[in-house]
Structure formats: structure tokens, C-alpha cells
């Protein structure tokens, strides 16, 4: 296996496909997660040391989005403690203007896709700060902030993730970032309804339960669930439960899982 994963994220080491497939394929999965976690840590350090406009062009799309959300969460909490949400809102607005300036310049297709997803999340982040300011949030424990999907770079006890890794929190629920390589994909525009669905599904996951979004066709149930999986860096497989499904077909699904 080459040290390069889909031309974007370099592996930390080599993996040799020897022996039974269930063993070496597990090693491939472990190396994928280690590599994503290493890249995330390096990108977080690079963000603090370099100009943001240059930083967004130097890293893979998934790494950019994860690192951006980590800094947004930390900087928002700093602004709440300093009672300076208006100032941070202006900072986010300036960052958005910088990225939109970059979009007008000659870019590769990969860079343009990364910036498109980044702008989508940054717009939501700016709107959240505006709403927090209007709601008069004074503490990081206030529900308006606790209800947001937040990212933190913290120490980890996991053997494959290194000394530190990313954690996601929403209200009382905490999840480790899955570090599944998802490629460079676009992200869904986050609306207030999307936020409420995220809150419901993460609450269910926190209690080891599942969720069942219900509603008319074409309203975004599937895409919202898939986007939450992207936010958590976990693989999401969608299949259609048709009338012709029998126990044999269901058994095949479970074998695949």
C-alpha cells in the first residue's frame, strides 16, 4: 500500500497485505485513522503559525473542516468569557471575506471544493455567533451554546489515535471524532432545523439508541443524516428498504456491516 491515501492524506507508515484479509485490512483501517488524526494535529499547529488564507490551501478538505471547527469552538468560548461576541462576529465576517476573495483566484478543483465546504460551515458559524449575541449568552454552560455541535482537540487514551485527538460535544453527549477518511466532499447548508435534528440524533447516540427521521419525501432526512456522519467522520451507507426484501437480503446487509 502506498503512503498516499487518495492523493490527499499521507499515511504515517506503510501497511503490508500479508496473511488473512481480516487482519491486514484491519491494519489498513487503523493506519487510516492514525493518519487522519496525525494530519489533524499538524494542521491545528499550522493554523496557529501561518496566515489563514494560505493555510486553507495547504491541507486536505476533511482536515481543513475539522481544524476550522476546533478553532471556532475554542474562539467562541473565549469570546463568551470575554463578553466580546460582537467582536468575534466581525472577525468571522472578515475571515469569510478573505475566503471568498480566494475563490475568485485560479484554483484546482480540489481546492475549490474544499473552500466551498469551508464557506458553508463558516456562514453557519457566523450566524450562530450572531444568535448567541442576540440571546445574551454570558456563560459557556448556557443552553444556546451547549446545544451546538462543538469540536475540541484534547488528550486521548485511545491506542491508535496518538496522545491527542478530536472530540465532538453537544449538550451532555461526547463522541470521539471517527477519523474515517471521507474524501473531499461538499457539506450541507446548516439550518436551524438541521441543528435540531443533530441535537436529537446525538442525544439518541449518547444513549446507545438510533434515530428515525420522519417526514415527506425530498425534505432532506437522508442528506441530513449523511451530513451528521460527515461531521463525526463516520462512514454512512444508505440503502433502500423495498417491499421485496426478505431475510436473506437482510442477512447480506448485516454480513456487510
Label residues 69-91 b or e (16+ Cβ within 10 Å = b).
Answer: bbbbbeebeebbeeeebeebbee
Q: What pLDDT does residue 202 have?
A: 95
Give the other-Cβ count within 10 Å of 223's Cβ.
Answer: 13
Q: Does the pLDDT of residue 186 top 70, yes or no?
A: yes
Q: What pLDDT does residue 3 have?
A: 41
The one-character DSSP state at 190 is: P
* Dihedrals phi, psi of 40, to nearest 5 degrees: -65, -45
Query: Of all residues in the chain, what percent carry a pLDDT higher than 70?
Result: 95
- CA–CA gap between residue 3 and residue 176 (Å, rounded): 25
Give the other-Cβ count within 10 Å of 25's Cβ.
Answer: 12
Q: How confident is the model at residue 7 (pLDDT cuts 50, 70, 90)?
A: very low
For cell 453557519, name the residue: 124
Strands (E), 2-50: 4-5, 9-10
Nearest to 172 by CA among 133, 196, 141, 129: 141
Amino acid at each position: 500500500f502506498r503512503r498516499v491515501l487518495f492523493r490527499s492524506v499521507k499515511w504515517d507508515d506503510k501497511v503490508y497485505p500479508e496473511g488473512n484479509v481480516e487482519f491486514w485490512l484491519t491494519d489498513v483501517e487503523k493506519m487510516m485513522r492514525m493518519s487522519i488524526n496525525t494530519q489533524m494535529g499538524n494542521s491545528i499547529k499550522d493554523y496557529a503559525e501561518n496566515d489563514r488564507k494560505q493555510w486553507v490551501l495547504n491541507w486536505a478538505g476533511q482536515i481543513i473542516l475539522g481544524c476550522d471547527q476546533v478553532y471556532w469552538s475554542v474562539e467562541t468560548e473565549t469570546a463568551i468569557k470575554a463578553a466580546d461576541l460582537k467582536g468575534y462576529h466581525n472577525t468571522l465576517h472578515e475571515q469569510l471575506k478573505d475566503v471568498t476573495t480566494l475563490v475568485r483566484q485560479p484554483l484546482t478543483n480540489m481546492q475549490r471544493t474544499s473552500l466551498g465546504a469551508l464557506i458553508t460551515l463558516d456562514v453557519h458559524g457566523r450566524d450562530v455567533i450572531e444568535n448567541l449575541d442576540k440571546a445574551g449568552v454570558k456563560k459557556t454552560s448556557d443552553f444556546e451554546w451547549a446545544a451546538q455541535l462543538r469540536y475540541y482537540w484534547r488528550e486521548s487514551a485511545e491506542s491508535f489515535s496518538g496522545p491527542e485527538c478530536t472530540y465532538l460535544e453537544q449538550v451532555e453527549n461526547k463522541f470521539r471524532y471517527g477519523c474515517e477518511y471521507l474524501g473531499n466532499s461538499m457539506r450541507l447548508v446548516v439550518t436551524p432545523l438541521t441543528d435540531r435534528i443533530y441535537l436529537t440524533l446525538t442525544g439518541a447516540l449518547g444513549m446507545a439508541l438510533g434515530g428515525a427521521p420522519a417526514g415527506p419525501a425530498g425534505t432532506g432526512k437522508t442528506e441530513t443524516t449523511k451530513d451528521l456522519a460527515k461531521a463525526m467522520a463516520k462512514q454512512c451507507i444508505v440503502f433502500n428498504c423495498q417491499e421485496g426484501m426478505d431475510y436473506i437480503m437482510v442477512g447480506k446487509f448485516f454480513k456487510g456491516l
